[in-house]
Structure 1
């Protein structure tokens, strides 16, 4: 009886061992990863890579260094920390291998997928190319081709197609983008359903107050990570633009930020704060707790918000190039 019992234990242990060994092969299949030679064109010229791009869980990962250097960035690699740092003009981008948190001028950017290394080369999600240096990126699923337009190319587009003088973007005016376009763009960017739904409120209130709703909506996308509220401000605040209370406080403290009773009040407060920056008088009392602290009319253009609404000097430019311009590319 003792022999049989020991024999059964050995069989059970062997069975468990086989399960452990076989499980090692499961993640590779579940990851659904495949390398693929995807053509990438920058300003009409095809880029050459020494490693293929990769499709991972439905996300397109492309070689970072070749694209960033083609955009004029200086790329550095830290072997010890497995960190990539890229500099271009006033923008510094930092990311770490197998970490979804990247930083653009010390501002957190959550990646769709973590960077990976393939044959000694760093691959990053395609969308990050746009988020990093303001390039316009388009993926053609039919031809399986990536098209990238550099920020300089986009400048020509915005000047000629939208009439922005000297690449400055007015805050005041009629909408140049429809509500339908904005919603399609939000869906494409993987926005939270609440962010897609609140677009209607932005277009209603913005049109009524004479502020371009696409500008406020683009800023809200930046401040809330497309309604996912991945920062210190949670959804329950109904604070769609990161407004602080009158007393202010540390950026990483939730209590430093304003809370509003509902979305309409929060969106209206957002517009009232923008109106003060843009130099538009508010009828009645401002719903923004910090309007009185803003120099009236100091930022008639979105680009002027840099160093004012937020400390980063590129804050306003980021709203334009990383959010507003891609929204303009959507056709309803």
Structure 2
């Protein structure tokens, strides 16, 4: 497993998932024991889309404050990426199930990461997919100012959190 301190700043959104679903869920539960178990969705669906599901999970942790929902998005929305939440009282999109929320998150990342057509095994559930400048953020740091505004260190925050997840996994 890659050493957390050697993570490149230009870590791509597309790539392999290194951490297991169990490691993902165990990490988040060190901070929030009541966090939902979403690791299997991020691992499986991340693999389908060719997205680093474990880093996307780190993004979800960042967006939801370890699934404690201290911002405008509420847990009942199953919106783990803050899709459509623009601040104030604009809570963003809602998804019927946890799996659908993860699917929307990964589809949104896919739109940023590549210009390739969206694979069609799953229906498009990301309501903002067509609003993304396709392929404009192939790396996590490229999401700065795009996913979160101004978000000058948004991508770095995700990569750093992922590094902590890798360290946790090696200590288990």
Same fold by TM (over 0.5)? Answer: yes
- Counterpart CA distance in 1 for 2:33 and 2:148 is 24
- TM superposition shift of 1:327: 0.4
Higher relative contact order (CA 8 A, sep 6+): 2
**RMSD between aligned residues:** 1.9
Which of these two proteins has the greater Rg computed from alpha carbons?
1
Among 22, 45, 69, the residue aligned to 1:229:
69
Confirm or deny: 8 A CA contact 1:192 1:227 kept in the other structure.
no
Contact 1:192 1:228 in 2 (8 A): no
Runs of 4+ in 1 over 3 A off after TM superposition: none
- Paired residues of 2:22 and 2:39 also in contact (CA < 8 A): no
- Which of 174, 194, 203 aligns to 2:35? It is 194
Tell me what 2:156 maps to. Answer: 317
| 1:192 CA displacement | 4.7
- Partner residue of 1:182? 24
Q: Structure 2: how far apart are the matches of 1:294 and 1:175?
A: 24
Q: Does 1:299 align with 2:166?
A: no
Q: Counterpart in 2 of 1:146?
A: none
Do the aligned residues in 1 keep the contact of 2:113 with 2:135 (CA within 8 Å)? yes
Aligned partners of 1:327 and 1:222: how far apart in 2? 12
Per-residue CA deviation, residues 126-159 of structure 1 (Å, 9 max, x unaligned), is xxxxxxxxxxxxxxxxxxxxxxxxxxxx98x325
Which of 103, 108, 124 is the equivalent residue of 1:273?
108
Aligned pair partner of 1:172 in 14, 29, 53: 14
- Aligned equivalent of 1:243, options 83, 94, 104: 83
Whether 1:262 aligns to 2:102 is no
SS in structure 2 of the partner of residue 171 of structure 1: coil
Check whether the contact 1:275–1:281 (CA below 8 A) recurs between aligned residues.
Answer: no
TM-fit CA distance, 1:177: 2.1
1:147-193: per-residue Cα shift (whole Å, max 9, x none)? xxxxxxx98x325xxxx4xx3111111112222322232122x1252
Structure 1 residues 18-37: aligned runs within 5 Å: none
TM-score norm. by structure 2 comes to 0.87
In the alignment, the residues of structure 1 paired with residue 156 and residue 101 of structure 2 have an alpha-carbon distance, to the nearest angstrom, of 24
Q: Normalization by structure 1: what TM-score?
A: 0.47
Indicate whether 1:282 and 2:130 are aligned. Answer: no
